[in-house]
Structure 1
Amino acid sequence: MKAFLGMGLLGSNFVKAMLRKGDKVQVWNRTTSKAKALEVDGAKAFDNIIDAVKGVDVIHLTLKDDDTVNEILEAASTGFKPGVMIIDHTTTSAKGAVERTATWKAKGFTYLHAPVFMGPSNALESSGYMLVSGNQEVIGSVTPELSKMTGKLLNFGPEEGKASGIKLIGNLFLLSLTAGLSDTLALAKALDISPADVATLFESWNPGAGMPARFNKIIAGDFSKPSWELNMARKDAGLMMSAANEEGMTLTLIPAIAAAMDSWIAKGHGTDDWSVIAKDNL
């Protein structure tokens, strides 16, 4: 028997997938109707969080943030079975994950942070990626459980909180990517180019395919053999900003990138590869 706390889009679909695999699941949500809606799928919903966790061996969470996780676990704790396993899929701070691991261990319970790169459809289909790190014996004991929930389980080793940090790094990239796409659409609008035409470009030319090679070039730290000189990249950034400004369009990322480029050009790196702007972060 297991419990699942937090019936948002992700949590609800995790529960549906568990039920389809034959698991018995007790569910709770602050908004009770979201938990009750899963009874038609076979879940047992509870109004009281303490009742929801009574008798279960594993408790899964998908909540909002560190404070919410701490609040909900504390509220439920009087119903915990001795030695219960708490598996938290919430995106939280690395510090919070480390602190919770120690706090609940001291109380006789096991807490494991297992954040995900999964949307609601992934949760339902058991696809996507789940991340873990920390006590390898603990991780080994729940690997069969977690592997059923995801397409791939990524173990980042014994360091507590590393999975949390990796999750935030991945989300940062997704935020940056979306902001970059927003700038792309803004420049296209300024140049009177349709989104459909931009989509046609990306159907043939996929810049994302070169991301691993670009990243490896950056972390190698050699910027002396440019594929795109910083001076030339800065010139193009200027053209982008001018075209957008002329049509009253706002670019989100490019002005900040241009400012970083200017700083590195002033340091004498204008003929280096433009990715030198990442050098200080190595």
Structure 2
Amino acid sequence: MKAYLGTGLLGANFVKAMLRRGEEVQVWNRTASKAQALEADGAKAFESPSEAVKGADIIHLTLKDDATVNEVLAAASTGFSPAAVIIDHTTTSVAGAIERTAFWKDKGFCYLHAPVFMGPPNALEGSGSMLVSGDQAVIAQLGPELEKMTGKLINFGPEEGKAAGIKLVGNLFLISLTAGLADALGLAKALGIDATDVASLFGSWNPGAGVPARFDKIRAGDFSKPSWELDMARKDAGLMMEAAEKSGVNLTVLPAVVSQMDNWIAKGHGADDWSVIAKDNL
């Protein structure tokens, strides 16, 4: 039998998927109505985390942050079955994941941090990606349980907390991507281009397909063979900034990028590939 603590959009769909597989699931959520709503799907809701985990061999979590995870696990621990397994899907700090792994191991319980790149539809369908790292024997033992929940289980090796770090790196990219799309829409607005035309562009041209090659070029650290010179990229960025300013459109990402471009041009890198702006982060 399983318990699930934290039944927001993601957790609720994980629970629904478990129930569809015929599993028995006890649930708790700080907003009780969200847990109670899952009783229509076959879950059993409880008013406290300690009640929800009673009799559970595996306890899943999807909560807000480190402090919430620590608080809820402390409250739930009085109901833990001997040798209960805790699987935490919360996006947390690296230090928090490491500390909890050691803390609960010392108390005789297995804690595995398994953050996800999955939205609610993925949780329901068992698609998307789940990340793990740490004790490989534990991961091998829990692998079959986790593989039922995700389309891809990615193991980053024996380093505790590494999965937490990778999750943060990925989320940073997603945040930057969304902010970049917001800037693209802002520039389109400034130029009098409808958003549907921008959607048509990305429907035909997928810049994301070039991410692996671009990333490899940056990692290699050789910017002397440009596919797009920094001077030329800066010229284009200037046209974008000028159009936005004339129309009173505020851009979020581009001004920061332009500042870095100017910094590297001042250092004499104008003829290098424009990705030289990433050099200091290698």
Whether 1:78 aligns to 2:67 is no
Q: Which residue of 2 aligns with 1:50?
A: 50
**Which stretch shifts more, 192-201 or 87-96?**
192-201
CA distance in 2, matches of 1:267, 1:48: 60
Q: Which residue of 2 aligns with 1:174?
A: 174
- Summarize the alignment of residues 191-270 of structure 1 with structure 2, pairs less than 5 Å apart: 191-270=191-270
Whether 1:144 aligns to 2:148 is no
**Scaled by the length of structure 1, what TM-score is found?**
0.99
After superposition, give the CA deviation of every residue in 1:223-256 in whole Å (9 maximum; x if it has no partner).
0000000011011111100100000000101110
Which ranges in structure 1 are unaligned for 5 or more consecutive residues? Answer: none
Q: Which residue of 2 aligns with 1:101?
A: 101
Residue 16 (structure 1) shift:
0.4
Instruction: State the secondary structure of the residue aligned to 2:105.
Output: helix
- Summarize the alignment of residues 19-38 of structure 1 with structure 2, pairs less than 5 Å apart: 19-38=19-38
Give the number of equivalent residue pairs. Answer: 282
Instruction: State the secondary structure of the residue aligned to 1:3.
Output: strand
Whether 1:133 aligns to 2:112 is no
CA distance in 1, matches of 2:229, 2:47: 62
Residue 48 (structure 1) shift:
2.2
After superposition, give the CA deviation of every residue in 1:47-102 in whole Å (9 maximum; x if it has no partner).
12211111111000000000000000000101111111000000011110001001
Instruction: State the secondary structure of the residue aligned to 2:224.
Output: coil
Which ranges in structure 2 are unaligned for 5 or more consecutive residues? Answer: none
Residue 196 (structure 1) shift:
1.0
Instruction: State the secondary structure of the residue aligned to 1:201.
Output: helix
- Aligned partner letter, 1:178: T
CA RMSD of aligned residues (A): 0.6
CA distance in 1, matches of 2:45, 2:197: 49
Identity of aligned residues (%): 75
Q: Which residue of 2 aligns with 1:39?
A: 39
**Scaled by the length of structure 2, what TM-score is found?**
0.99
Q: Which residue of 1 aligns with 2:117?
A: 117
Residue 276 (structure 1) shift:
0.3
CA distance in 2, matches of 1:53, 1:206: 45
Whether 1:161 aligns to 2:157 is no
Q: Which residue of 2 aligns with 1:63?
A: 63
Q: Which residue of 2 aligns with 1:13?
A: 13
Instruction: State the secondary structure of the residue aligned to 1:23.
Output: coil
